[in-house]
């Protein structure tokens, strides 16, 4: 019997053709993410699912789909590296493997992090608005001046694949690298980056720019809470291209107004696509709509990796790119 695969988001044509060769597909054409109710209605009866990072793969969805009599759910192949939308306790208990897309989006996300860092520290978006609204009347010494990256200290919270790729770029800008991370970092990487390990309180106190590259888990949720944000160096900048839930975004405006922060660049939010109103009106925050990995090449590779996993599974071959914790 051919497996049935639920494809709830638009995938590139060549990816669909590869899937069609091995499985019967149910395509969902709506652009907005499905609600949990919709997943509960539509996923049961499929052996595999290819969700995006905002699709609710909750315990109830997973349990319901795996209890389906003819085609219980047997594989989730997510088109993203982050998988915090998937209840991993439930997949573990139900024995459903989860594939994702590590590695392929490292460089694109590191590029976007540098772009956001430059946009925030050099006030690029604010400057563009200033010119377009006709406010530019003359050149002056201090017009829209910001932070020079050369010689500044970059604090990296999470020196994994993406954090390391950001550090390499930042070194080319003349930044000094400090980091806090779970676990070991290979000695040769530390040497290459001339990076120095710090505790989190030290990292907060010493970094001119802090960039976040940790996965969102119970232990990292709000790792940058009010106390942490207010413990940052005076005049520091914060950049987050990882997950919104790592930072308590409800206190960011206060940390800019009454605390040490000089500017913030965000690509991710706790409850996407909603962005707190307290952030939207501010010139000292650059806001992007979660486009870290959004190059044509990378997004195609991500879709293709998820499809690789489903195709291998359908052919009874070892499934590549499995998430292992």
Catalytic site residue 243?
yes
Residue 105 CB, shortest distance to ligand GLV, in Å, is 5
How far is CA 209 from each of CA 5, 227, 229, 291, rounded to the nearest angstrom?
A: 44, 17, 12, 20
Any contact of residue 50 with ligand GLV (CB under 6 A)? no
Which helix (H) or strand (E) element contains residue 192?
A: helix 187-193
Look at the block and give the residue holding tokens 């996407």: 272
81 binds ligand GLV (CB under 6 A): yes
Q: Is 303 in the site for ligand GLV (CB under 6 A)?
A: no
Q: Find the helix or strand (DSSP H, E) in which 187 lies.
A: helix 187-193
Q: Which stretch binds ligand GLV (CB under 6 A): 80-88, 187-195, 269-277, 311-319?
A: 80-88
Q: Does 310 bind ligand GLV (CB under 6 A)?
A: no
Residues touching ligand GLV: how many (CB under 6 A)?
Answer: 7
| Beta strands in 46-180, from DSSP E residues, in sequence order | 48-49, 75-77, 98-99, 153-157, 176-180
For residue 246, which phi and psi values (nearest 5 degrees)?
-70, -25
Contact 69, 256 (CB under 8 A): no
Judged by CB under 6 A, the residue of 15, 23, 53, 170 near ligand GLV is 53
- For the bound state, the minimum distance from the C-beta of residue 55 to ligand GLV, rounded and expressed in Å, comes to 12
CB of 254 to ligand GLV, least distance (A): 26
Which helix (H) or strand (E) covers residue 239, if one does? strand 236-240
CB of residue 243 to ligand GLV, shortest distance in Å: 7
272 is catalytic: yes
Q: Given the rule CB under 6 A, which of 57-65, 78-86, 127-135, 174-182 is the region that contacts ligand GLV? A: 78-86
Candidate segments 79-87, 131-139, 227-235, 276-284, binder of ligand GLV by CB under 6 A? 79-87
Provide the sign of the torsion angle of the four alpha carbons 256, 259, 265, 267, taken in this order: negative
CA–CA dist 52, 68 (Å, integer): 22
Annotate 257-295 with DSSP letters as a single string.
HTSSEEEEEES--TBTTB--HHHHT-TTEEE--S-TT-S
Nearest to 296 by CA among 101, 12, 79: 12
| Minimal distance, residue 100 CB to ligand GLV, in Å | 8
Annotated catalytic, 222? Answer: no
Contact status: 160 vs ligand GLV (CB under 6 A): no
- Considering 46, 123, 290, 299, which one is annotated as catalytic? 290
- Contact between residue 303 and residue 293 where contact means Cβ atoms under 8 Å apart: no
Q: Which of 325, 283, 288 is nearest to 114 (CA)?
A: 288
Exactly one of 105, 114, 177, 246 binds ligand GLV (CB under 6 A); which one? 105
Q: For ligand GLV, what does the binding mask look like between residues 82 and 101, x meaning CB under 6 A?
A: x-------------------
Q: Determine if 305 is a binding residue for ligand GLV (CB under 6 A).
A: no
- Please select the residue that binds ligand GLV; options are 292, 312, 314, 319, rule is CB under 6 A: 292
Contact call for residue 293 and ligand GLV (CB under 6 A): yes
Binding part of the chain for ligand GLV, among 14-22, 66-74, 75-83, 91-99 by CB under 6 A, reads 75-83
Q: What is the DSSP letter of 76?
A: E
71, 198, 243, 321: the active-site residue: 243
Kindly list the residues in this chain that would bind ligand GLV in the complex (CB under 6 A): 53, 80-82, 105, 292-293
Catalytic sites, residue numbers:
243, 272, 290
């Amino acid at each position: 019997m051919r497996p049935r695969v639920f494809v709830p988001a638009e995938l590139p044509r060549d990816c669909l053709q590869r899937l069609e060769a091995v499985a019967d597909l149910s395509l969902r054409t709506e652009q907005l993410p499905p609600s949990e109710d919709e997943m509960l209605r539509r996923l049961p009866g499929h052996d595999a699912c290819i969700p995006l990072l905002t699709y609710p793969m909750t315990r109830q969805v997973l349990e319901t789909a795996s209890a389906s009599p003819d085609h219980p759910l047997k594989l989730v192949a997510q088109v993203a590296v982050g998988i915090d939308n998937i209840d991993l306790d439930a997949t573990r208990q139900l024995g459903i493997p989860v594939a994702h897309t590590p590695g392929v989006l490292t460089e694109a996300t590191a590029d976007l992090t540098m772009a956001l860092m430059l946009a925030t520290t050099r006030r690029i978006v604010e400057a563009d608005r200033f010119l377009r609204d006709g406010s530019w009347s003359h050149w002056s010494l201090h017009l829209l001046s910001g932070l020079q990256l050369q010689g500044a200290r970059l604090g990296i919270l999470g020196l994994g694949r993406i954090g390391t790729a950001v550090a390499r770029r930042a070194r080319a800008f003349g930044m000094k690298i400090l980091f806090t991370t779970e676990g070991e970092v290979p000695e040769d990487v530390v040497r290459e980056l001339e990076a120095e390990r710090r505790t989190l309180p030290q990292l907060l106190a010493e970094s001119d720019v802090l960039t976040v590259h940790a996965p969102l888990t119970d232990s990292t949720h709000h790792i940058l809470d009010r106390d942490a944000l207010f413990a940052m160096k005076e005049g520091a900048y914060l950049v987050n291209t990882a997950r919104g839930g790592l930072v308590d975004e409800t206190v960011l405006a206060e940390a800019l107004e009454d605390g040490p922060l000089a500017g913030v660049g965000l690509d991710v939010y706790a409850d996407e696509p909603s962005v707190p109103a307290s952030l939207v009106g501010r010139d000292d925050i650059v806001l992007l709509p979660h486009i870290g990995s959004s190059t044509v090449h990378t997004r195609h590779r991500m879709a293709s990796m998820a499809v690789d996993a489903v195709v291998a599974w359908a052919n009874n071959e070892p499934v590549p790119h499995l998430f292992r914790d």
